[in-house]
Amino acid sequence: MRAKAYFFLLALVLTLAFGLGSSPVRAADYPTKPMTLINPYPPGGFLDIPGRAFAVAAEKMLGKPVVVANKPGAAGMSGTVAGAQAPPDGYTVMMGCTTITCAVEWELVNGRKPLATRHDFIPIGAYILSPTLISVPTNSPWKTLDDLVKDCKAKPNHYAFSSGGLYGMSHVPAEILMRATGIKARHVPHKGGAPALAAVVGGHVDFTTQFCPSTIPLYRGGKLRVLAVQSDRRLKSIPEVPTVKELGVDAEYNAWIGLLVPKDTPMPVVKKLREVLESAAKDKRFVDTIETAGEVVHYMNHEELTRYWENETVQIAKIWAQQPKESAAK
């Protein structure tokens, strides 16, 4: 009997010890120290302004510093892997975006196992849907999207478009445009969005599909012409540019930007971060900072983001399956 009592007490002590040691952080206590926000791109890149804007908003709401850590490399996958492998304690938050889908599906179509996928994360939510702009050189004879389509149809594979890299985020909208219109053009991948835009400005390619923050300053400076926004609504920053939808072309494309945490992060912490993101997306200063850069604030909760991400994965997988099995431009 004494032996049974001894082992019962021992088991109880061990259970309490391990239970206390691994007890999840309570939302009321979180955070108690600075947080890290991983940006998988370099400073000044695609996620720079969205990331820093959230860091400022989160610091104000949580009362603790939020440090942005840039971890670029491998088309965004270096930072993504770092985010997936971070301790699941809520003190490392990952900036996620469509680049994860592009990179993961690129690995799969080439017969390789991705180092990290969406299943390695818990979604907090998204706060930006970023459409791309169809742009041409200022001296291009194409004044409208219809001009581009007509000439490309008349001369298949005669004209060329640039992207920020094979299997990259700015490659996707060009493929969507070509499938929607039935045109064929030669792909000239570059190592990033900036050189892809430079190729258009210099007249080395005929068109490109790039994101707003990098394209709009060139457009306003008279360095290129924007034919259409690949969205269903015009942008506040350039309201004179029509959308593909109103032009009758089913070629909408919106890359998402949001927040993720490693799987197994305690749910009280996850819920707290979701509340912070939802509040930030309603904050006027936060919205103005984002939209001044040419982005579109569009909040999606974790369930909406999950559905959007799943649909995006199916779409991009189909596109990549029809592409040549080559290495992506880094």
Mean pLDDT of 256-266: 97
pTM over 0.85: no
Mean pLDDT of the 30-37 span: 97
| pLDDT above 50: residue 199 | yes
Compute the 3-state secondary structure of the chain and give helix, strand, coil in percent, each to the nearest 5. Answer: 45, 20, 35
Q: Which residue has the higher pLDDT, 100 or 22?
A: 100
CA distance readout (Å), 286 to 66, 127, 270, 292, 324 = 15, 11, 21, 10, 41
pLDDT at 27: 61
- The domains found in the chain, sorted by start residue, are 27-128+255-321 (3.40.190.150), 131-229 (3.40.190.10)
In sequence order, the β-bridge partners of residue 128 are: 257, 297
Band of residue 83 on the pLDDT scale cut at 50, 70, 90: very high
In the prediction, which pLDDT does 99 show? 86
Adjacent-strand bridge partners of 137: 224
Considering the chain, what is the average pLDDT of its residues?
89
